[in-house]
């Protein structure tokens, strides 16, 4: 393997892989992806993988997510079947007081082109007969869906490799230096020289920034998921809280805890998650849980993606975010435009690291 | 091992598929699991884990004790949701997406 590259991407999760793949559509030589372990060992391998838009707030962030969701059908045409399904997304509520909030959401998002319906109890049950009949209503949008995260990353990688991207895994970056306009990236295996450097280290972004003396304010937020045995298809929609995968398994969970980098599965959260499951879909009581997993979200300090150029460092870029599965097609597209054309088709100034300065 | 030998009975994954994953630089049981689903079946890898270790050893030459084992997690054997549930509907770590929608002066931010 050479040691000189045009562009090095640190981090082979869904974000780093999308950037590498989209770059490789424009130029085929000199792209290297480095990962301290293996793609999917990070957060991208322990995710719900909803492609979710409709109740993200504020509206500009929902709009950004919508652009990404809209790229999915085209992406799957290009890289192959990633089991993307635009099922539509359903967010049930059980208290009547939430209806007003739901209506506000639907009203203000109509203006930006995200169609949200506020469903009555009867309409929810008609759409999704398995939902708890005590439901008060739900918001619904056809833009939401889900994807198989493993297939997604595998396909990004295969397509990128086909376009000439090189990968070096089990190869941790330990120091980065800037010399005469190039970066010297030292890893466990070797030192690489490159012109462009992209930091896509997910929840480890703060550490990566430290190697360059840059503050990337990303914190850790744990999420735990439980998985049922394969059940016959019975859920029609991606419900905010659970979804049924193509093979029939139901992935359940929407928890958030500050636990640093600890990826344990804990009984208290698993029980709460089970409670949510039977509260939303009572027939799940009898379903068996075969598996549980836990992942650490990258949570930027203000909750929004950190994307784009690193101020004051020429040819240095960062992409660190939660909801990286939803956003990966757009992030890959826009970072490629930024690197090759110097500007992006959708503005990303709002997401600049400079906002924390 | 024959290429068509079934390694993971639950997910019907054969030796060739495991070898292909290793060809893509997968090195641990979990890497292979995420690429192929081998080990994600009802038995949760109890049957296939040692066979996969054999293939890794055959393909990469790494010794069996050097191949990291997957983390054991709850539940060790399948358990009904109703057994886990406590029927409470107050949540602390588990969130609701609707609760996250923030209104400012009655309007969505
Ligand atoms: C429980 C849970 C549920 C979620 N649900 C959803 C959802 O429904 N929809 C959605 O869109 N998002 C969801 N997310 C978030 C989403 O999974 C993440 O935003 C996304 O996977 C982040 O991808 P990434 O590439 O940034 O990070 P990662 O996948 O973590 O990739 C970063 C990579 O960088 C590598 N790395 C770090 N430091 C170094 C170094 N020094 N040298 C070399 N390599 C390094 C790591 O090994 C890692 O592979 C969820 C997350 C969790 C935990
Ligand atoms: S044999 Fe592989 S999971 Fe059961």
Distance B14 CA to ligand 2 centre (A): 11
For a pocket test of ligand 1, which of A194, A204, A226 has the largest count of ligand atoms closer than 8 A to its C-beta? A204
Structural domains present in chain A:
2-47+150-217+302-356 (3.50.50.60), 89-142 (3.30.9.10), 219-300 (3.30.9.10)
Instruction: Tell the residue nearest (CA) to atom 1 of ligand 2.
Output: B8
pLDDT for res B75: 86
> How far away, in angstroms, is A275 Cα from ligand 2 center?
28
pLDDT above 70: residue A4: yes
Q: Quote the pTM value.
A: 0.97
User: b vs e for A100-123, b when ≥16 Cβ sit within 10 Å of the residue's Cβ?
Assistant: ebbebbbebbeeeebebbbbebee
Q: Which residue has the tokens 């999420």?
A: A223
- Can you tell me the distance from the alpha carbon of B24 to that of B62, in angstroms, rounded to the nearest whole number? 16
Spatial CA neighbour of A143 closest among A113, A175, A118, A100: A113
Interface test with B, best of A274, A280, A296 (most B CBs within 10 A): A274
Q: Where are the alpha helices (DSSP H) in A129-240?
A: 149-162, 205-211
Would you place residue B44 in the very low, low, confident or very high pLDDT band (cuts 50, 70, 90)?
Answer: confident
Pocket test for ligand 2, best of B30, B48, B49 (most atoms within 8 A of CB): B48
Given this model, what pLDDT does residue A357 score? 86
- Give which of A254, A263, A266, A296 to mutate to test B binding, by max B Cβ within 10 Å: A254
- Could you tell me the CA-to-CA distances from B101 to A102, A254, B47 in Å, in that order? 9, 15, 45
Q: What is the pLDDT of residues A198-230, one digit of tens each?
A: 999 999 999 999 999 999 999 999 999 999 999
pLDDT at A1 over 70: no
CATH number, span B6-66: 1.10.10.1100
Q: How many CB pairs under 8 A join A and B?
A: 148
Residue with the two structure tokens 């300090």? A301
User: What is the dihedral sign for C-alpha A117, A280, A321, A337?
Assistant: negative
The pLDDT value recorded for residue A331 is 98
Contacts of A273 in chain B (CB under 8 A): 94
Helix (H, G, I), strand (E, B) or coil at A286: helix
Mean of all residue pLDDT scores within chain A: 97
Q: Would you call B97 an interface residue with chain A, using a CB distance cutoff of 8 Å?
A: yes
Domain ranges of chain B: 6-66
Confidence of residue B41 (pLDDT cuts 50, 70, 90): confident
Residue A237 · residue A146 · CB < 8 Å: no
Specify whether the CB–CB gap between A333 and A22 falls below 8 A. yes
**Option in B82, B86, B107 nearest A286 (CB):** B82
- Confirm or reject: Cβ of A252 under 6 Å from ligand 1: no
Name the closest-CA residue to atom 25, ligand 1: A13
pLDDT exceeds cutoff 90 at B48 = yes
């Amino acid at each position: 393997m050479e040691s000189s590259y045009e562009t090095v991407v640190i981090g082979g999760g869904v974000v780093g892989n999308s950037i590498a793949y989209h770059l490789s559509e424009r130029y085929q030589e000199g792209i290297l992806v480095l990962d301290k372990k293996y793609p999917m060992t990070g957060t991208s391998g322990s995710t719900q993988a909803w492609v979710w838009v409709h109740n993200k707030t504020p509206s500009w962030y929902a709009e950004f997510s919508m652009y990404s969701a809209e790229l999915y059908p085209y992406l799957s045409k290009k890289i192959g079947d990633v089991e993307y399904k635009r099922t539509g997304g359903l967010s049930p509520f059980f208290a009547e007081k939430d209806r007003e909030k739901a209506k506000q959401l639907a009203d203000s998002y109509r203006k930006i082109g995200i169609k949200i319906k506020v469903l009555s109890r009867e309409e929810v049950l008609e759409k999704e007969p398995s939902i708890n009949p005590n439901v008060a209503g739900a918001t619904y949008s056809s833009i939401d869906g889900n994807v198989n995260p493993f297939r997604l990353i595998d396909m990004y990688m295969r397509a990128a490799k086909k376009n000439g991207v090189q990968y070096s895994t089990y190869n941790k970056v330990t120091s980065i230096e800037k010399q005469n306009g190039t970066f010297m990236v030292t890893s466990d295996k070797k030192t690489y020289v490159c012109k462009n450097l992209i930091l896509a280290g997910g929840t480890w972004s703060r550490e990566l920034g430290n190697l360059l003396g840059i503050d990337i304010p990303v914190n850790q937020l744990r999420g735990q998921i439980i998985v049922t045995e394969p059940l016959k298809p019975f859920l029609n929609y991606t419900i905010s809280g659970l979804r049924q995968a193509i093979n029939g398994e139901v992935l359940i969970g929407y928890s958030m805890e500050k636990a640093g980098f600890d990826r344990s599965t804990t009984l208290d959260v698993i029980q709460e998650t089970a409670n949510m499951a039977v509260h939303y879909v009572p027939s799940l009581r009898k379903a068996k849980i075969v598996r549980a997993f836990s992942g650490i979200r990258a949570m930027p300090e203000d909750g929004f993606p950190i994307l784009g150029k690193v101020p004051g460092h020429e040819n240095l870029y960062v992409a660190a975010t939660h909801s990286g599965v939803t956003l990966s097609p757009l992030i890959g597209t826009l970072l490629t435009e930024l690197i090759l054309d110097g500007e992006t088709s959708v503005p990303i100034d709002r997401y600049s690291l400079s906002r924390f300065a | 091992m024959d290429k068509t030998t079934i390694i993971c009975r639950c997910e019907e994954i054969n030796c060739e598929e495991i070898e292909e994953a290793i060809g893509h630089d997968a090195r641990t049981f979990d890497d292979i699991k995420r690429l192929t689903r081998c080990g994600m079946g009802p038995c949760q890898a109890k049957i296939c884990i040692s066979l996969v270790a054999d293939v890794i050893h055959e393909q990469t030459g790494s010794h069996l004790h050097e191949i990291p084992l997957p983390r054991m997690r709850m539940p060790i054997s399948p358990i009904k949701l109703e057994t886990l549930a406590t029927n409470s509907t107050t949540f602390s770590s588990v969130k609701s997406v609707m609760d996250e929608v923030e209104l400012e002066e009655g309007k969505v931010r």
